[in-house]
Amino acid sequence: MPTFFRRHYARRLEAVGRTEQAVGAVILLALAGILTAYLLDLATHPGSPVGAWEAAPTAPGDRLPDPGLPDWIPCRQTEHFTADNLFEKINGRAEVYLQHQVAGLTFGSYCHQTQTGRTIDVYWFNMGRPQSAQAVYETERPAQPDPVPIGDAGYQSGTAVFFRKGASYVQVVPSGLDPADGQAARRIAELLADRISYQSADGPTSAANPGPRP
């Protein structure tokens, strides 16, 4: 019995007729249409895999830069949120940022190397343009901030540090009230501010400007 590869054909393969080519094209088009319709259907329903891909991260990099501090390291991959799914991170507060045309949020954490649960969280908001960053920053700034020379108009509240620079608005929030956490947060904020350019909407992740700070 001839095998699949040794099948006898009535004529040579290259002599495929126009009608056969047309039928083949119709089949391929139908399959492509089905696939397209399937993907469109998924994309129109929130929560579908395609929808999730479309809302997926646009910011570069997957880890915050190494702060060069002996006790603190970037401890998990950054999470990225767009205007469409910002509520998944700051539900109830997202509208404030949406009113100011937020483009996205990158969230990441630093962990203490020896004390489990001691973290410093970084919320980097890409507000799209400096005016929006300033507006939302002004909305949240306390009446009498404790200024720190980080970015534009940085300030410290407890152990947390807040600053804006260009289109970015950054919050560095330790989990504890230990003054050492505040010093680490400030060092991290300085590092991030150095890595955020005024012109670009790039985030402070490692891929945006790799390599440790000198």
- Report which residue type is found at 67: P
Cβ atoms of residues 24 and 35 within 8 Å: no
Nearer of residues 174 and 203 to other proteins, judged by Cβ? 174
Distances (CA, A) of 78 to 65, 108, 146, 153: 11, 4, 28, 25
Amino acid letter at 115?
A: Q
> What are the two backbone dihedrals, phi and then psi, of residue 88, each rounded to the nearest 5 degrees?
-70, -20
By C-beta, is 91 or 199 nearer to other proteins? 91
Contacts to other proteins by CB under 8 A: 1-2, 7-10, 17, 19-20, 23-24, 26-27, 30-31, 33-34, 37, 41, 44-48, 87-96, 117, 119, 121, 123, 140, 142, 144-145, 157-160, 162, 171, 173-177
CB-nearer residue toward other proteins: 174 or 202: 174
Backbone angles phi, psi at 162, to 5 degrees: -130, 140
Q: Read out DSSP for 93-124?
A: THHHHHHTT--EEEEEEEEESSSTT-EEEEEE
Nearer to other proteins, 171 or 206 (CB): 171
- Give me the least distance between CB of 129 and other proteins, in Å please: 22
Our CB check for other proteins shows the closer of 114 and 199 to be 114
Least distance (Å) between residue 167 CB and other proteins: 20
Least Cβ distance, residue 200 to other proteins (angstroms): 25
Closest distance of CB 23 from other proteins, Å: 4
- Minimum distance from residue 34 beta carbon to other proteins (Å): 5
Minimum distance, C-beta of residue 122 to other proteins, in the bound complex (Å): 11
Number of Cβ within 10 Å of residue 160's Cβ equals 19
Give me the helices (H) in the chain, please.
18-44, 49-54, 87-90, 94-99, 130-140, 179-195
Instruction: Report d(CA 138, CA 132) in Å as an integer.
Output: 10
Q: Which is nearer to other proteins, 34 or 180 (CB)?
A: 34
